[in-house]
Amino acid sequence: RAKSAGGDCVAGYDPAMLAGLVERLELEADLRVALTRDELVLHYQPTVDLRTSGIVGFEALVRWQHPVRGMVSPLDFIGIAEATGLIVPLGRWVLTEACRQAVAWGAAGERPLKMAVNVSVRQFEHGDLSAMVAEVLAETGMPAERLCLEMTESVLLTDTDENLTQLHRLKALGVTLAMDDFGTGYSSLAYLRRYPMDILKIDRSFVDRLGGDREDEALVRTIVRLGRSLGMTTVAEGIEDAVQLGVLRDLQVDLAQGFYLSRPLPAAEAGRVLDEGLTKLALAS
Ligand code: C2E
Ligand code: MG
Ligand code: MG
Ligand code: MG
Protein backbone atom coordinates (compact mmCIF):
# COMPACT_ATOMS: atom_id res chain seq x y z
CA ARG A 1 0.00 0.00 0.00
CA ALA A 2 2.88 2.35 0.77
CA LYS A 3 4.12 2.15 -2.81
CA SER A 4 1.14 2.70 -5.06
CA ALA A 5 1.53 3.22 -8.78
CA GLY A 6 1.03 6.96 -8.47
CA GLY A 7 3.51 7.18 -5.63
CA ASP A 8 1.40 9.76 -3.83
CA CYS A 9 0.25 7.51 -1.05
CA VAL A 10 1.74 7.75 2.39
CA ALA A 11 1.94 4.46 4.22
CA GLY A 12 -1.40 3.58 5.76
CA TYR A 13 -3.65 5.94 3.98
CA ASP A 14 -4.87 6.84 0.62
CA PRO A 15 -6.12 10.39 -0.03
CA ALA A 16 -9.04 9.17 -2.11
CA MET A 17 -10.15 6.84 0.66
CA LEU A 18 -9.84 9.60 3.23
CA ALA A 19 -11.88 11.96 1.08
CA GLY A 20 -14.54 9.27 0.77
CA LEU A 21 -14.61 8.78 4.52
CA VAL A 22 -14.88 12.51 5.22
CA GLU A 23 -17.70 12.82 2.68
CA ARG A 24 -19.51 9.94 4.31
CA LEU A 25 -19.13 11.37 7.82
CA GLU A 26 -20.35 14.75 6.60
CA LEU A 27 -23.38 13.22 4.93
CA GLU A 28 -24.10 11.23 8.07
CA ALA A 29 -23.99 14.34 10.27
CA ASP A 30 -26.15 16.25 7.78
CA LEU A 31 -28.67 13.42 7.52
CA ARG A 32 -29.25 13.53 11.27
CA VAL A 33 -30.52 17.10 10.97
CA ALA A 34 -32.17 16.66 7.56
CA LEU A 35 -35.12 14.92 9.16
CA THR A 36 -35.77 17.75 11.60
CA ARG A 37 -35.27 20.43 8.94
CA ASP A 38 -37.77 19.13 6.41
CA GLU A 39 -35.09 18.48 3.81
CA LEU A 40 -36.50 15.14 2.70
CA VAL A 41 -39.07 15.03 -0.06
CA LEU A 42 -40.98 12.28 -1.81
CA HIS A 43 -41.34 11.88 -5.53
CA TYR A 44 -44.01 9.60 -6.94
CA GLN A 45 -43.64 7.29 -9.93
CA PRO A 46 -46.92 6.09 -11.48
CA THR A 47 -47.71 2.39 -11.71
CA VAL A 48 -49.68 1.65 -14.84
CA ASP A 49 -52.09 -1.18 -15.65
CA LEU A 50 -50.86 -2.60 -18.97
CA ARG A 51 -54.34 -3.70 -20.03
CA THR A 52 -56.20 -0.46 -19.41
CA SER A 53 -53.24 1.99 -19.57
CA GLY A 54 -54.64 3.61 -16.45
CA ILE A 55 -52.65 4.71 -13.42
CA VAL A 56 -53.42 2.36 -10.55
CA GLY A 57 -51.00 3.77 -8.03
CA PHE A 58 -47.64 5.33 -7.26
CA GLU A 59 -44.34 4.31 -5.75
CA ALA A 60 -42.99 6.81 -3.24
CA LEU A 61 -39.25 7.46 -3.70
CA VAL A 62 -37.37 9.61 -1.22
CA ARG A 63 -34.99 12.43 -2.20
CA TRP A 64 -32.89 14.70 -0.04
CA GLN A 65 -32.80 18.40 -0.81
CA HIS A 66 -29.42 19.11 0.70
CA PRO A 67 -28.83 22.80 1.44
CA VAL A 68 -25.39 22.72 -0.25
CA ARG A 69 -25.25 19.61 -2.42
CA GLY A 70 -28.67 20.01 -4.00
CA MET A 71 -30.86 17.00 -4.71
CA VAL A 72 -29.24 13.84 -3.32
CA SER A 73 -30.30 10.42 -4.66
CA PRO A 74 -31.47 7.72 -2.24
CA LEU A 75 -28.68 5.55 -3.64
CA ASP A 76 -26.27 7.98 -1.90
CA PHE A 77 -27.92 8.12 1.53
CA ILE A 78 -30.13 5.08 2.19
CA GLY A 79 -26.99 3.02 2.87
CA ILE A 80 -25.79 5.59 5.41
CA ALA A 81 -29.25 5.73 6.97
CA GLU A 82 -29.20 1.94 7.29
CA ALA A 83 -25.72 1.80 8.79
CA THR A 84 -26.52 4.46 11.40
CA GLY A 85 -30.03 3.38 12.32
CA LEU A 86 -31.40 6.66 10.95
CA ILE A 87 -33.43 4.50 8.55
CA VAL A 88 -35.91 3.93 11.39
CA PRO A 89 -37.10 7.55 11.81
CA LEU A 90 -36.54 8.18 8.09
CA GLY A 91 -38.65 5.12 7.17
CA ARG A 92 -41.44 6.27 9.45
CA TRP A 93 -41.38 9.74 7.94
CA VAL A 94 -41.55 8.31 4.40
CA LEU A 95 -44.45 6.03 5.28
CA THR A 96 -46.40 8.82 7.00
CA GLU A 97 -45.85 11.29 4.16
CA ALA A 98 -46.75 8.73 1.46
CA CYS A 99 -49.93 7.68 3.29
CA ARG A 100 -50.99 11.29 3.81
CA GLN A 101 -50.54 11.96 0.11
CA ALA A 102 -52.43 8.81 -0.87
CA VAL A 103 -55.32 9.77 1.39
CA ALA A 104 -55.38 13.25 -0.13
CA TRP A 105 -55.41 11.87 -3.69
CA GLY A 106 -57.86 9.14 -2.77
CA ALA A 107 -60.34 11.71 -1.55
CA ALA A 108 -59.98 13.73 -4.75
CA GLY A 109 -60.60 10.95 -7.26
CA GLU A 110 -62.90 7.98 -7.40
CA ARG A 111 -60.33 5.25 -7.82
CA PRO A 112 -58.76 3.92 -4.65
CA LEU A 113 -55.13 4.50 -5.58
CA LYS A 114 -52.43 2.23 -4.25
CA MET A 115 -49.31 3.66 -2.66
CA ALA A 116 -46.10 1.63 -2.61
CA VAL A 117 -43.40 2.40 -0.04
CA ASN A 118 -39.93 0.86 0.09
CA VAL A 119 -38.88 -0.65 3.39
CA SER A 120 -35.34 -1.63 4.32
CA VAL A 121 -34.36 -4.90 5.95
CA ARG A 122 -33.00 -2.76 8.81
CA GLN A 123 -36.52 -1.62 9.63
CA PHE A 124 -37.35 -5.24 10.38
CA GLU A 125 -34.47 -5.42 12.82
CA HIS A 126 -35.23 -2.25 14.76
CA GLY A 127 -38.39 -2.64 16.76
CA ASP A 128 -41.78 -3.84 15.69
CA LEU A 129 -42.31 -2.90 12.05
CA SER A 130 -45.92 -4.09 11.87
CA ALA A 131 -46.81 -2.07 14.98
CA MET A 132 -45.22 1.03 13.45
CA VAL A 133 -47.16 0.50 10.20
CA ALA A 134 -50.42 0.03 12.14
CA GLU A 135 -49.79 3.31 13.99
CA VAL A 136 -49.12 5.25 10.81
CA LEU A 137 -52.23 3.83 9.13
CA ALA A 138 -54.31 4.93 12.10
CA GLU A 139 -52.68 8.38 12.26
CA THR A 140 -53.19 9.11 8.59
CA GLY A 141 -56.51 7.36 8.02
CA MET A 142 -54.95 5.30 5.22
CA PRO A 143 -56.85 2.05 4.52
CA ALA A 144 -54.38 -0.84 4.83
CA GLU A 145 -55.62 -2.29 1.53
CA ARG A 146 -54.24 0.71 -0.33
CA LEU A 147 -50.72 0.37 1.06
CA CYS A 148 -48.07 -1.79 -0.53
CA LEU A 149 -44.71 -2.36 1.13
CA GLU A 150 -41.80 -3.16 -1.19
CA MET A 151 -38.79 -5.06 0.05
CA THR A 152 -35.83 -6.86 -1.44
CA GLU A 153 -34.83 -10.45 -0.91
CA SER A 154 -32.48 -9.46 1.90
CA VAL A 155 -35.57 -9.44 4.13
CA LEU A 156 -36.11 -13.10 3.34
CA LEU A 157 -32.46 -14.05 3.73
CA THR A 158 -31.69 -12.59 7.16
CA ASP A 159 -33.27 -13.31 10.53
CA THR A 160 -35.78 -15.44 8.73
CA ASP A 161 -38.16 -16.49 11.49
CA GLU A 162 -38.59 -13.06 13.02
CA ASN A 163 -39.02 -11.45 9.61
CA LEU A 164 -41.53 -14.09 8.59
CA THR A 165 -43.55 -13.31 11.72
CA GLN A 166 -43.47 -9.61 10.83
CA LEU A 167 -44.58 -10.32 7.25
CA HIS A 168 -47.55 -12.33 8.51
CA ARG A 169 -48.50 -9.52 10.89
CA LEU A 170 -48.34 -7.02 8.05
CA LYS A 171 -50.53 -9.31 5.95
CA ALA A 172 -52.96 -9.58 8.84
CA LEU A 173 -53.25 -5.78 8.84
CA GLY A 174 -54.36 -6.01 5.21
CA VAL A 175 -51.20 -4.53 3.68
CA THR A 176 -49.96 -5.75 0.26
CA LEU A 177 -46.38 -7.05 0.11
CA ALA A 178 -44.13 -6.74 -2.94
CA MET A 179 -40.84 -8.39 -3.72
CA ASP A 180 -38.68 -5.65 -5.25
CA ASP A 181 -35.83 -6.09 -7.76
CA PHE A 182 -36.72 -9.73 -8.32
CA GLY A 183 -34.04 -11.70 -10.12
CA THR A 184 -31.03 -9.77 -8.83
CA GLY A 185 -30.28 -11.67 -5.64
CA TYR A 186 -30.54 -15.30 -4.71
CA SER A 187 -34.08 -15.35 -6.03
CA SER A 188 -35.58 -18.74 -5.61
CA LEU A 189 -38.94 -20.36 -5.91
CA ALA A 190 -38.56 -21.64 -2.36
CA TYR A 191 -38.50 -18.12 -0.90
CA LEU A 192 -41.46 -16.99 -2.91
CA ARG A 193 -43.52 -19.95 -1.78
CA ARG A 194 -42.58 -19.61 1.83
CA TYR A 195 -43.25 -15.89 2.17
CA PRO A 196 -46.65 -14.23 1.85
CA MET A 197 -45.72 -11.93 -1.03
CA ASP A 198 -48.48 -10.60 -3.30
CA ILE A 199 -46.50 -8.78 -5.97
CA LEU A 200 -43.42 -9.68 -7.97
CA LYS A 201 -41.44 -6.72 -9.33
CA ILE A 202 -39.21 -7.82 -12.18
CA ASP A 203 -35.92 -6.00 -11.90
CA ARG A 204 -35.04 -3.29 -14.39
CA SER A 205 -31.96 -5.19 -15.55
CA PHE A 206 -34.20 -7.78 -17.27
CA VAL A 207 -36.43 -5.16 -18.85
CA ASP A 208 -33.31 -3.35 -20.07
CA ARG A 209 -32.35 -6.26 -22.29
CA LEU A 210 -35.73 -6.71 -23.95
CA GLY A 211 -36.18 -5.88 -27.60
CA GLY A 212 -33.30 -7.69 -29.24
CA ASP A 213 -32.57 -11.06 -27.80
CA ARG A 214 -35.09 -13.92 -27.73
CA GLU A 215 -33.34 -15.49 -24.75
CA ASP A 216 -33.87 -12.37 -22.65
CA GLU A 217 -37.52 -12.45 -23.58
CA ALA A 218 -37.74 -16.09 -22.55
CA LEU A 219 -36.21 -15.22 -19.19
CA VAL A 220 -38.81 -12.55 -18.49
CA ARG A 221 -41.56 -14.89 -19.66
CA THR A 222 -40.34 -17.50 -17.16
CA ILE A 223 -40.40 -14.99 -14.30
CA VAL A 224 -43.90 -13.84 -15.28
CA ARG A 225 -45.13 -17.45 -15.36
CA LEU A 226 -43.50 -18.14 -12.03
CA GLY A 227 -45.23 -15.17 -10.46
CA ARG A 228 -48.56 -16.05 -11.98
CA SER A 229 -48.34 -19.70 -10.93
CA LEU A 230 -47.90 -18.47 -7.36
CA GLY A 231 -50.92 -16.19 -7.70
CA MET A 232 -48.80 -13.04 -7.65
CA THR A 233 -49.35 -9.82 -9.55
CA THR A 234 -46.38 -9.06 -11.84
CA VAL A 235 -44.83 -5.62 -12.27
CA ALA A 236 -42.11 -4.68 -14.75
CA GLU A 237 -39.71 -1.96 -13.55
CA GLY A 238 -37.67 0.45 -15.63
CA ILE A 239 -39.46 0.53 -18.99
CA GLU A 240 -37.55 3.01 -21.13
CA ASP A 241 -38.97 2.59 -24.62
CA ALA A 242 -41.97 1.52 -26.70
CA VAL A 243 -40.37 -1.76 -27.75
CA GLN A 244 -39.95 -2.91 -24.15
CA LEU A 245 -43.51 -1.82 -23.40
CA GLY A 246 -44.81 -3.85 -26.35
CA VAL A 247 -42.93 -6.99 -25.37
CA LEU A 248 -44.12 -6.76 -21.76
CA ARG A 249 -47.72 -6.28 -22.92
CA ASP A 250 -47.39 -9.37 -25.12
CA LEU A 251 -46.01 -11.32 -22.17
CA GLN A 252 -49.12 -10.20 -20.23
CA VAL A 253 -47.27 -8.55 -17.41
CA ASP A 254 -49.90 -6.92 -15.19
CA LEU A 255 -48.37 -3.58 -14.21
CA ALA A 256 -45.50 -1.37 -15.33
CA GLN A 257 -43.28 1.49 -14.26
CA GLY A 258 -40.51 3.27 -16.09
CA PHE A 259 -39.18 6.55 -17.42
CA TYR A 260 -40.96 5.87 -20.74
CA LEU A 261 -44.28 6.01 -18.91
CA SER A 262 -43.29 8.62 -16.35
CA ARG A 263 -40.32 9.61 -14.24
CA PRO A 264 -40.86 9.90 -10.50
CA LEU A 265 -42.61 13.27 -10.06
CA PRO A 266 -43.01 15.84 -7.29
CA ALA A 267 -46.43 15.54 -5.62
CA ALA A 268 -48.05 18.44 -7.47
CA GLU A 269 -47.03 17.10 -10.89
CA ALA A 270 -48.04 13.57 -9.97
CA GLY A 271 -51.46 14.90 -9.01
CA ARG A 272 -51.75 16.57 -12.41
CA VAL A 273 -50.78 13.38 -14.24
CA LEU A 274 -53.40 11.59 -12.20
CA ASP A 275 -56.07 13.95 -13.49
CA GLU A 276 -54.89 14.01 -17.09
CA GLY A 277 -53.49 10.51 -17.65
CA LEU A 278 -50.21 9.73 -19.34
CA THR A 279 -49.93 11.00 -22.90
CA LYS A 280 -47.18 8.52 -23.82
CA LEU A 281 -49.53 5.69 -23.01
CA ALA A 282 -52.26 7.02 -25.20
CA LEU A 283 -49.76 6.95 -28.07
CA ALA A 284 -48.45 3.50 -27.26
CA SER A 285 -51.73 1.66 -26.85
P1 C2E B 1 -36.39 0.77 -6.25
O2 C2E B 1 -37.33 0.65 -5.11
O3 C2E B 1 -36.16 -0.45 -7.06
O4 C2E B 1 -36.93 1.98 -7.12
C5 C2E B 1 -36.80 2.07 -8.52
C6 C2E B 1 -35.67 2.98 -8.92
O7 C2E B 1 -35.52 2.94 -10.33
C8 C2E B 1 -35.90 4.45 -8.57
O9 C2E B 1 -34.62 5.04 -8.33
C10 C2E B 1 -36.49 4.99 -9.86
O11 C2E B 1 -36.32 6.38 -10.02
C12 C2E B 1 -35.67 4.23 -10.87
N13 C2E B 1 -36.35 4.09 -12.15
C14 C2E B 1 -37.67 4.03 -12.42
N15 C2E B 1 -37.91 3.88 -13.73
C16 C2E B 1 -36.70 3.83 -14.34
C17 C2E B 1 -36.27 3.70 -15.71
O18 C2E B 1 -37.06 3.59 -16.65
N19 C2E B 1 -34.93 3.69 -15.93
C20 C2E B 1 -34.02 3.82 -14.92
N21 C2E B 1 -32.74 3.83 -15.24
N22 C2E B 1 -34.40 3.95 -13.62
C23 C2E B 1 -35.71 3.95 -13.33
P24 C2E B 1 -34.35 5.96 -7.06
O25 C2E B 1 -35.52 6.83 -6.78
O26 C2E B 1 -33.01 6.58 -7.26
O27 C2E B 1 -34.27 4.91 -5.88
C28 C2E B 1 -33.26 3.95 -5.85
C29 C2E B 1 -33.50 2.95 -4.76
O30 C2E B 1 -33.40 3.59 -3.48
C31 C2E B 1 -34.88 2.31 -4.78
O32 C2E B 1 -34.93 1.27 -5.73
C33 C2E B 1 -34.99 1.83 -3.34
O34 C2E B 1 -34.31 0.62 -3.20
C35 C2E B 1 -34.25 2.92 -2.59
N36 C2E B 1 -35.22 3.86 -2.01
C37 C2E B 1 -35.84 4.92 -2.57
N38 C2E B 1 -36.68 5.51 -1.71
C39 C2E B 1 -36.62 4.76 -0.56
C40 C2E B 1 -37.26 4.85 0.72
O41 C2E B 1 -38.12 5.70 0.98
N42 C2E B 1 -36.91 3.91 1.66
C43 C2E B 1 -36.00 2.93 1.39
N44 C2E B 1 -35.69 2.05 2.37
N45 C2E B 1 -35.38 2.82 0.20
C46 C2E B 1 -35.69 3.72 -0.76
MG1 MG C 1 -39.17 -0.16 -4.98
MG1 MG D 1 -36.93 -2.03 -7.79
MG1 MG E 1 -33.69 -1.21 -6.06
- Name the pLDDT band for 94 (thresholds 50, 70, 90): very high
**Positive or negative, the Cα torsion across 15, 17, 21, 23?**
positive
Counting every residue written for the chain, the total comes to 285
Q: Are 183 and 202 in contact (CB under 8 A)?
A: yes
Q: Supply the ipTM of this predicted assembly.
A: 0.98
Q: Point out the ligand 1 atom lying closest to the alpha carbon of residue 264.
A: 11
Closest CA to ligand 1's atom 34: 118
Nearest CA to ligand 1 atom 8: 61
2 lines ligand 1 (CB under 6 A): no
Distance CA 248, CA 271 (A): 26
Q: Quote the pTM value.
A: 0.92
Q: Is 48 in the pocket of ligand 1 (CB under 6 A)?
A: no
Task: Give per-residue pLDDT as tens, 4-17.
Answer: 455 555 566 788 88
Tell which phi-psi region holds residue 206, choosing left (phi > 0), alpha (psi between -120 and 50) or beta.
alpha
Specify the 3-state DSSP secondary structure of 151. Answer: strand
At position 262, the amino acid (one-letter code) is S
pLDDT: which is higher, 277 or 91: 91
Give me the pLDDT at residue 3, please: 45
- Is the distance from the beta carbon of residue 181 to the nearest atom of ligand 1 less than 6 Å? yes
Residues 207-238: b if buried by 16+ CB within 10 A, e if exposed: beebbeeeebbebbeebbebbeeeebbbbbbb
> What is the overall mean pLDDT for the chain?
89
Share of the chain above pLDDT 70, in %: 91
